[in-house]
Amino acid sequence: MITITHFLVVSAVIFCIGLYAVLAKRNAIMILVGIELMINASILNFVAFSRYDKVNYGGQVFALFAIVLAAAAVAVGLAIILNVYKYYKTINPANINELKD
Amino acid sequence: MLELLNISPITASLLVVLLPFVAFLIQAAFGRRSISGNIGLIAIILSTILSAICVFFVVWNGENATQRITWFTIGTKSFSVGILLNKLTVSMQLLVCIIALPVHFYSRAYMKGDDGLHRYWMYLSLFCFAMLGLTVSINLLQLYIFWELVGFASYLLIGFWFTRDAAVQANKKAFLINRIGDLGFLIGIALVYAQVGTLDLVELFGKSGWFLNDTTANITLQEINKDSAWLTFAGLAFFLGAMAKSAQFPLHVWLPDAMEGPTSVSSLIHAATMVAAGVFLLCTVFPLFNETVLLVIAIVGTITAFSAAIFALGQYDIKKILAFSTISQLGFMMVGVGIGAWDTAMLHLATHAFFKCLLFLCAGAVIHEMSHFKTHARLDFDPQDLRNMGGLRHYMPKTFVCMVIGALALSGFPLTSGYLSKDSIVVSAFEWASLHGNFYLAIPVTLIVVSLMTAFYIGRLIFKTFFGSFSFKQHTSTAHSLHEAPGMMIWPMLFLAACSLFPIFGLQPLTYQQTWLIQGFQVVLSYPVIHTAHLFIPVGLTIGAILAWVLGWQWYVKQKYPLHANNRWVRFSNRQGYLNEVNDVLFVKGTQRLSAALYAFDRYVVDGATKLVTWTMQQVAVVAYWFDKNIVDGIVNFSANTTYYIGHLARHVQNGQLQGYLGFALTVVILGILYLIIK
Amino acid sequence: MTIDLLLFYAFAAMAIGSALLLVNIRNTARALFLLFIVLFAMAGLYLFALADFIAITQILVYVGGVLILLIFAFMLSNKELLHDLQSVSHRFITIPRWQALIISGAFLSVMLYSVISWSQTMPEWIESAQMAGTVISPSDNNIQALGFRFMTQYVLPFEIISIFLMMALIGAAHLSRKEQHT
């Protein structure tokens, strides 16, 4: 029997790996990847709890919403990254230290 | 007069105290313009009238009165100053006034023409203020303040002729010795305050302020074990204060020297009032004393009476004889307190004040005329020396009569006040001793011997001064002859002579119990009355005194002096038992030796130690320098570097990097969650 | 130890292992390809939670859309790509940054502590659902049920998320277009 604890532990590990990527990476794309990992971890939580909600299907519905939001976020985020790259010629967030044009 | 009578005793008593003070202030402000002494005289006259009519007769026949105002507050304890009027205090106050009044009159004639006369009146008023304030103080601390003021005024008056070296030495001596006593008094006050928590005489001793058997007495004092050690110490401390002020045996040495002051001052301060303050203090705090302290008081009083009588035998200075007789009589009073019959002590204090003041004034008159004669006849001799006098009764008959009355009172002849008071002490002492038995009997026996010696030496003084033939008879002429003192001096003497007779104190001339002073105090005695003693002792004393006078007559008037003038015993007596020399060797030389030893010690040991310490300190300094440079600076630098490094680390938080901020925010979140978990 | 549990462990191990390698690998291109594996493994895990439609959507949207976008963006932005690809032998794995490691480790331990300490008692609504038997079973038709819910119960969030998605796409397109006045 796969209990909910299994899902939660795996989700926690994935989330923390994503967190590490967000904190440590020197590449905007990799940070975005870390965010995707964290979103995936939360989606896993959604669907894991959703098993016990047959009436509303809330978990699965919001998992789908989350996927859509993540896709939109990635689209906008990548657009910004490309714009930044065009201006700074780098995607390392440490080097992006000016707000002015 | 009726309005005057309506003044409450408290107000009147306050006026009595403050009038001399006002006089003092006015005289101090006027300076040299106030040489007449009229201001001080008016003040003391008013004080006397007020004290007699509005205070004494009201309180003596009626209720006690107290009035106090809060002076200052420390924590929850508040000190109050005020006036306590009971039979003891009002009688003492009246006594001081009545003695001070004739002395003021006398001073006008006696001190005439002196350069510092304005100072004299100022000091005299100050003394009167302090002494009158002392008598009616309600608080032991207040009493102590006036006690000190009295001592200070005494110091000023002893050193009145401050250009004389002897006077300066004498007032210094008096001041230093009184300091010992004041320290004792202060310790006593501190002990009482620490143990009982109050210095108020009424709170301490009950409603009337001095009755132990009063049922309203302070509960704490009633509960105190009379044999507790602190009580003994406190009693001894108070007694030490009284010893210095009342010139008891080891501390009496200042009083003979105090005769360097003007004779009128000696009569007022060092015979009648100030020296009696010690006795008065002991009477006031009498309930504090336990058996041990009382015994010590009695013994010291006996020793004082005896030693001073011996010293008086060998003196040639007329004032010194009287000074020693004062000390001796103060010893009698102390014995009276010590045996528990403090009413007899107060009686003797009162009678003694009159006749001793009289004796001093008479002696002053004699000295006054002698020195006048000396100036006019251009002779050089000591006007105070008995050996230069003789046969003066032909020149100064009134003075002679007065002085004889005083002398008879001092000797304790019947019909005089001295007979009543002195016999009261001796009889009480005998009754007390016969209750305790054995060695206690030495005290009344000694007192009897002292009484006889007293009669002898005062007889000697009278005979040497007024009988026989005048030493400088060949120099007398119509131009410059000895003559009677001026009326201003004679009248106070006559007044005091009248006061030295029995009617002032009681209508019964032979039994002291009938005097109003004894009846007023109503002291409960702890020993039985022995009626035979009341008969035999006065008779014996009178016969002994007559015999002593007869012996003196034989020796001094009939010129059948059996002893050589340089007899060892006479010299011993004349030199006051070498007590001053002993003091000199013991304390002055001792102090000097000690100082020399201390100097040597200082020079070699302390300085050596200092040098050693210096060297050590230098070495320590070197080590300390190294320590400072490497360890202390190291610590400082280390902490500075640590701070710098921490700052350096913290600087990275504010690096403008999103990831850094995120990490920082997450750290806080984790800490918050951890807090929630742990909580 | 049933077969499904074994499979779950396998998928979980694949997802975690790939994710760890992903964050530690130097080469961004390889990391992005590792993301493929992670996303696939996650989709597998969704299946074990009986969310088949979510798993399908995950593969379609992430693997088919997001990942392709990421790779494009990476290739457009990283001019050292070739250089990076050639220098594989130099250092394969980056040294972890200790601050980030500590924070994420602390976060993980906090979460694991919470999960383990709270796993003994299920939330009330789960227990009541288990009592009532309203639990999704493998035989249920999830897609049909979801469709019904979207069109009835969740119609408003559905419409909002649609508009939001359109806004995001328009915004992304606007951001990405070439500046005309530069």
Domain ranges across chain C: 1-111, 142-177
C99 touches chain B (CB under 8 A): yes
Asked whether residue B228 is domain-assigned, the answer is no
Could you give the 3-state DSSP secondary structure of residue B72? strand
Taking only residues 98 to 117 of chain C, the set having a beta carbon closer than 8 angstroms to any beta carbon of chain A reads: 99-101, 103-105, 107-108, 111-112, 115-116
From the list A19, A22, A93, which residue is nearest B657 (CB)?
A: A93
Does residue B406 lie within any of the structural domains?
A: no
Please report whether residue A100 resides in a domain: no
- C100 and B674 within 8 Å at the Cβ level: the answer is no
| 3-state SS assignment for residue B67 | strand
pLDDT > 90? residue A10: yes
pLDDT, mean of residues A69-74: 89
Enumerate the H helices of B318-341 as residue ranges: 318-338
Q: Indicate the residue of B659, B666, B677 with minimum beta-carbon distance to C107.
A: B666
Q: How many whole angstroms from its chain centre is CA C54?
A: 11
Provide the pLDDT confidence category of residue B212 given band limits of 50, 70 and 90. Answer: very low
The two structure tokens encoding residue A63: 């998992």
DSSP state of B376: H
Structure tokens at C2: 């049933």
Q: From the candidates C84, C136, C158, which should be mutated to test the interface with A, based on the most A CB atoms within 10 A?
A: C136
Structure tokens, C92: 């394969």
Average pLDDT score over chain A: 86
Segment B73-88 mean pLDDT: 79
Going by pLDDT thresholds of 50, 70 and 90, the confidence category of residue B36 is low
Q: How many domains does chain B have?
A: 1
Q: Which of B37-46, B52-61, B342-351, C3-12 has the lowest mean pLDDT?
A: B52-61
Contact A12 C176 (CB under 8 A): no
> For residue B640, is it within any domain?
yes
- Binned at pLDDT 50, 70 and 90, residue B218 comes out as very low
Token pair listed for B98: 């009545």
C-alpha distances (whole Å) from B333 to each of B281, B342, C20 are 12, 8, 112
Look at residue B539 in the predicted model and tell me its pLDDT. Answer: 80
Angstrom distance (rounded) from CA B254 to CA B166? 12
The pLDDT assigned to C19 comes to 92
pLDDT of C124 reads 83
Interchain CB distance below 8 Å, A64 and C57: yes
Structural domain span for residue B654: 582-678
Task: Write down the pLDDT at residue C163.
Answer: 93
Interface test with B, best of C97, C98, C99, C102 (most B CBs within 10 A): C99
Provide mean pLDDT across the span C134-151.
86
Q: What confidence score (pLDDT) does residue A9 get?
A: 92
Mean pLDDT, residues A85-97? 74
pLDDT tens digits for range B82-126: 888 887 888 888 888 888 888 888 888 887 777 778 888 888 888
> Given an 8 Å threshold on Cβ–Cβ distance, is B662 in contact with A22?
yes
- What is the pLDDT confidence band of residue B200, given thresholds at 50, 70 and 90? confident
Which pLDDT belongs to residue A100? 59
Per the domain annotation, does B262 fall within a domain?
no
Alpha helices for B137-196 (secondary structure H): 140-158, 165-196
Query: In the predicted model, what is the mean pLDDT of residues C169-180?
Result: 80
Greater model confidence, A28 or C55: C55
Whose structure tokens read 């980030």? C100
What average pLDDT does range B493-518 have in this prediction?
Answer: 74
Question: If you average pLDDT over residues B11-37, what whole number do you get?
Answer: 79
Is the distance from CB of A64 to CB of A24 less than 8 angstroms?
no
CB B74 within 8 A of CB B44: no
For residue A101, being part of any structural domain is answered with: no
CATH of the domain at A80: 1.10.287.3510
Q: Residue B644 falls within a domain, yes or no?
A: yes
ipTM value, please give it: 0.87
Confidence of residue B216 (pLDDT cuts 50, 70, 90): very low
B657 within a domain of the structure (yes/no): yes
Q: Check CB contact of A84 with chain B, cutoff 8 Å.
A: no
Helices marked H in B412-441 = 417-436
* A 56-75 → B contacts, CB under 8 A: none
Q: Which of B34-48, B430-444, B636-650: highest mean pLDDT?
A: B636-650
Per-residue CA distances from B657 to A26, A96, B153, C101, C125 (Å): 11, 9, 90, 17, 43
* More confident: B317 or A12: A12
Looking at B236-240, B459-463, B519-523, C41-45, which range is the least confident one? B519-523
pLDDT for residue C40: 92
Task: Answer whether residue A72 is part of any domain.
Answer: yes
State how far the Cα of B11 lies from the Cα of A90, in Å rounded to an integer.
106
pLDDT value for A34: 92
Say if residue A27's pLDDT is above 90: no
User: What was the pLDDT predicted at B536?
Assistant: 77
Residue B525 CA from chain centroid, whole number: 26
Cα B244 to Cα B173, B184, B274, B311, B403, distances in angstroms: 11, 9, 11, 18, 28
Identify the domain containing residue A37 by its residue range: 4-90
Average pLDDT, rounded, for chain B: 79
pLDDT higher than 50, residue B138 = yes
pLDDT reported for residue B557:
67
Chain C nearest CA to A38, separation (Å): 11
Inter-chain CB proximity C107 and B670 less than 8 Å: yes
pLDDT at B51 over 90: no
CATH ID of C1-111, from 2.30.30.230, 3.20.20.70, 1.20.120.1200, 3.40.50.2020: 1.20.120.1200
Residue numbers in C near B670 (CB within 8 A) = 103, 106-107, 110
pLDDT computed for residue B342 by the predictor: 79
pLDDT on residue B458: 85
Distances in Å between the Cα of C112 and the Cα atoms of A15, A20, B260, B679 are 11, 16, 105, 18
Q: Assign B6 a pLDDT band (cuts: 50, 70, 90).
A: low
Instruction: With beta carbons under 8 A apart, name residues in chain C contacting B663.
Output: 99-100, 103
